[in-house]
Structure 1
Amino acid sequence: MKKFLSVPAAITMLAAGTLVSCSTESPESSQSPTASETPADSATYQEYVALGDSYSAMGSRTAETTGPAECFRSADNYPSLVAQHEGVKNFVDATCSSAVTADIFSTRAGSEGPIEAQLESLTKDTDLVTISIGGNDIGFPDIARCFQEARAAGEESDCASRFNRDEMTNSVNEMLFSVYNSVQQRSPEAHIMVTGYMPLITDEGQCEDAA
């Protein structure tokens, strides 16, 4: 049976570390597993494939990188940390910085040649998948830059009015459903763990974890 888990569940299950967030609430999903459906800590995965954008691909600034130059697949990104667990036997990192949902399905042009569609890394034997995608589809870099420029200028930002949250969410939801369905079709027995994006700014004020 296919199961969807949030990334905190994945990290806890594999004892690979902790992701921090400014939010005190846990993301909810209509497809979240019950306790009885959650894989045991001792689960063994024969083939783990990581998909996604820079939130999956990048790690520390000093770590070595692999893959196409523009992908910045860090040797200490979270998929690599998960893959170090003894319960993971084989690992494929298909993540790539600045990826959008189209790059999951289609070949992407790269400075060193074509970058294969991320879905091509999946097989029917893949039994663990993590994925973060969608941030670049809604222009996350532009949103972050808006807040950064306002802070540098010492002015109140107009970012909320410049970027309509509802419109952005609606536009990306359909694409995300298509991504998740395609992953399921290629790897029908895989546990699919969808990672989120750490909040950079909170309503309550500053957050040390996001500084």
Structure 2
Amino acid sequence: MVRRMLVLLAAAALALGLTGPARAVQGEVYVALGDSAAAGPLVPDQVVPDLGCWRSDHNYAHLTARAIGAAVLRDVTCSGAKTKDMYQSQKTDLGSVAPQFDALREDTTLVTVQIGANDVGLTGFIEDCLNLLPPPVGDPCNDDYVVDGQDSWRVKTDALRPKLTALAADIRARAPHARVFLVGYATYAPPNGCYPTVPIIKADANYIRGTLMYFNQMLAEQAAAAGIGFIDLQTPSVGHDPCASPGVRWIEPYVPASPAAPFHPNGLGMKNFATIVTAAVTGALSQT
């Protein structure tokens, strides 16, 4: 996964202020957990230390922290992270980083966590479906993932449910005073795709779309079951997927037009995700 990320980052490199403060609680101690969708690889500027995490100082966690006037932000999001990396050190190509849960403490008042895509291999799945030649020359990918009559991605997604239940409980144990939000993933493909702008054929684009919708539904269900908040990024990002034009899209395609890793949020996406996250966390606060 890390090697694949470096290849994608190289391709991106070759290709090339959130609104004012919202109502907030002064003294908020915000911990951001998650993978590359939260970290913001290649979105300027990448922060130190932990350069191997490809973490931006303009990802939605940083922008949300500024918007709510947080007293402390501990952003430990890291590209390539899986649920296991919440509990143990994560290896990157530039060294190991501490378990993300080390950032959770008694003083934590707010937690966002965006995790799970790497557990089931969704990034690799999208890459596998890239098809430079359409049928009948090109080979569709969607039928490769049916094993013994079962959709292997849905099987992997359902297998993640107990890990997320445990994850929510463990966050609460480490940060008992925190409001906790599980963050979903954005829209990565419109109906029927947009071949050849994004070289994924119609059937595969619809398969990717359906798979991610099922994955986000699972995240929402697990958040509800665990009694934590869920922040939907899929619905508001409709029309801002990699098929949209530069300046409109929030997720970059395989050959990015703005600084971001392929099939990851760009700066505009992070700005809009921060608006959504800010609204969610401040709205929940006003109800408590």
TM exceeds 0.5?
yes
Q: Which residue of 1 aligns with 2:53?
A: 71
1:189 equivalent in alignment to 2:177: yes
Compute the displacement of 1:111 (Å): 4.3
Q: Would you say the 8 A contact 2:90–2:99 is kept in 1? A: yes
- Structure 1 counterpart of 2:134: 154
Please say if 1:96 is aligned against 2:78. yes
% identical aligned pairs: 26
Shift of 1:205: 4.9
Distance 1:85 1:62, change over 3 A: closer
Cα distance between partner residues in 2 of 1:100 and 1:55: 12
1:13 counterpart residue number: none
Asked if structure 1 preserves the Cα contact closer than 8 Å seen for 2:111 and 2:178, the reply is yes
Instruction: Please report the TM-score for the alignment, with normalisation by the length of structure 1.
Output: 0.72
RMSD: 2.4
1:120-153 C-alpha deviation (Å, 9 max, x unpaired): 10001100001100000000121111222x2x22
What TM-score, normalized by structure 2, do the two folds share? 0.54
Q: Which runs of 4+ in 1 moved over 6 A?
A: none
SS in 2 for 1:153: coil
Query: 1:60–1:77: 8 Å Cα contact kept in structure 2?
Result: no
Structure 2 segments unaligned to the other structure (5+ residues): 1-17, 146-150, 195-237, 243-288
Q: Using CA pairs below 8 Å that are at least 6 residues apart, which structure has the higher relative contact order?
A: 1
CA 1:98/1:59 → structure 2, altered by over 3 Å: closer, same or farther? Answer: closer
Q: 1:86 to 1:141 in 2, by over 3 A?
A: closer
Give the aligned residue type for 2:110. Answer: L
Q: Matched residue of 1:130: which SS?
A: strand
1:48-197 equivalent positions in 2, closer than 5 A? 48-58=30-40, 61-148=43-130, 150=131, 152-155=132-135, 157-159=140-142, 161-162=144-145, 164-197=152-185
2:241 equivalent in structure 1: 210
Could you tell me how far 1:177 is from its partner in structure 2? Answer: 1.3
Aligned length: 173
> Structure 1 101/153 Cα, relative in aligned 2: closer, same or farther at 3 Å?
same
Contact 2:30 2:108 in 1 (8 A): yes
What does the per-residue CA deviation read over 1:14-72, in whole Å, with 9 as the maximum and x for residues that have no partner?
xx57xxxxxxxxxxxxxxxxxxxxxx944345310100000111165332332312201
Deviation at 1:114, TM superposition (A): 3.1
Per-residue deviation, 1:209? 0.9
For the residues of structure 1 that align with 2:159 and 2:27, how far apart are their CA atoms? 34
Q: Which runs of 5+ in 1 are unaligned?
A: 1-15, 18-39
- Larger % of helix: which? 2
Taking the aligned partners of 1:208 and 1:202, their CA distance within structure 2 comes to 7
1:45 and 1:55, CA in 2 relative to 1: closer, same or farther beyond 3 A?
A: farther
Give, in whole Å, the separation in 1 of the partners of 2:56 and 2:66: 14
1:33 matched to which residue of 2?
none
User: In 2, Cα distance between the equivalents of 1:170 and 1:112?
Assistant: 33
